[in-house]
Amino acid sequence: MREVAVIGVGLTKFGDRWEAGIKDLAAEAGLAALEDAKIISSEIEALYGGIMSSGRFTDQEHFAALLADQIGLKHISAVRVENACASGGSAFRLGYMAVASGMHDIVVVGGVEKMTDVTVNEATTALGGAGDQEWELSQGITFPGLYALMARRHMHDYGTTQEQLASVAVKNHGNALANKYAQFHRKITIDDVMKSKMIADPLKLLDCSSICDGAAAVVLAPMEIAKKYTDTPIKVAGSAQVGDTLRLASRDSLTGIAATRIAADKALAQAGVERKDIDLAEVHDCFTIAEVMGVEDLGFYNKGEAAKAIAEGETMIDGKLPVNTSGGLKGCGHPVGATGVKQVVEVVEQLRGDAGARQVNGAEIGLTHNVGGSGATVVVHVFRRAD
């Protein structure tokens, strides 16, 4: 396979984007990525778009072709990718594979979701499609409920506390303060989280990521021509996607996501790096317990040790392993189709040295971790500076 590089990135502001429709958001991010790559539309050969539920949220299906049209791409291959909250990460992997295989040279990968034009109940129903309708959703469980089950079991087995979970939210909101694209620019405290409304015991409102709008996009090219477009190409060093049972009840464990562990092993092996080599990670924190389990399943911490480490500051921007420097899903926002691509944008900016106040000193290797549903799809990518 050919080596592949990210040569351009684009992002919209995440949040309640009442002034913009889904087409506007997609075009904003896509055009920004093309401009960043200093590329013209006629050079693009294919597009992969991560969108979870545009039909339910906006009544618009057939979205990849519409996205290509919105950013001026005519007569190209345009494919929509749906893998729940991992739609963006899966779209990126397909774009990477298309370039690595030699099938295409220049590819755009986008992710978008417009979630705020429907009621909360309608949004909850749409998001519930990421679970097993017959065995979970029709029985009354919600996604906060599924992750609450994981949290309770983790607390039971390892002594994890609600205050330790709250420290995840505090850290990620703090990181989001320095991200102009983030939904939330408000510092919160452990006490704020503990006093927020209970959603699904033990998860409170400030333990949960938000319903919001946003889009992200990147441009991929083979490494041999990447420097034609940018002085700082970022190599896609490893890529893996792994699945598991859709329903939580069929898993071997409630305190972790096996697909994360397997995907991480594969991506790191392909990249030829060890966990100790990773300088920063964007980890899927749809709920605070998800980040705790994520860094354990990725192999950065042993089971039961991550919550304490996070509470003690080890995953801060200046810590041992910076996690979610963008603010994560919790602070930056979680427009589900866009999240996996947004994670890539953050790591690319970090490895370029363009992250401003969020910059991790000396960052050379980064990792993204995107989860669909309660862990039925996991996508892990490893990136490194090409120089």
Tokens of 381: 């990518």
Q: Strand 203-204 and strand 198-200: pairing?
A: antiparallel
Q: How many residues does the chain have?
A: 387
For 18, counting Cβ atoms within 10 Å of its Cβ (0-12 exposed, 13-18 middle, 19+ buried), the class is exposed
85 catalytic? Reply is yes
Q: Which of 85, 208, 212, 332 is catalytic?
A: 85
Indicate if 208 belongs to the active site: no
For the record, the structure tokens of 79 come out as: 């494919």
Residue 59, number of CB atoms within 10 A of its CB: 10
Decide: 380 and 367 in contact? Cβ < 8 Å: yes
Report residue 351 CA to chain centroid gap.
17
Catalytic residue (one of 154, 173, 334, 369): 334
| Angle, helices 162-176/288-297, rounded to nearest 10 degrees | 90
Bridge partners of 240, per DSSP, are 380
Q: Which residue has the tokens 């490494």?
A: 223
DSSP string over 266-293: HHHHHHT--GGG--EEEE--SBHHHHHH
Instruction: Write out the catalytic residue numbers.
Output: 85, 334
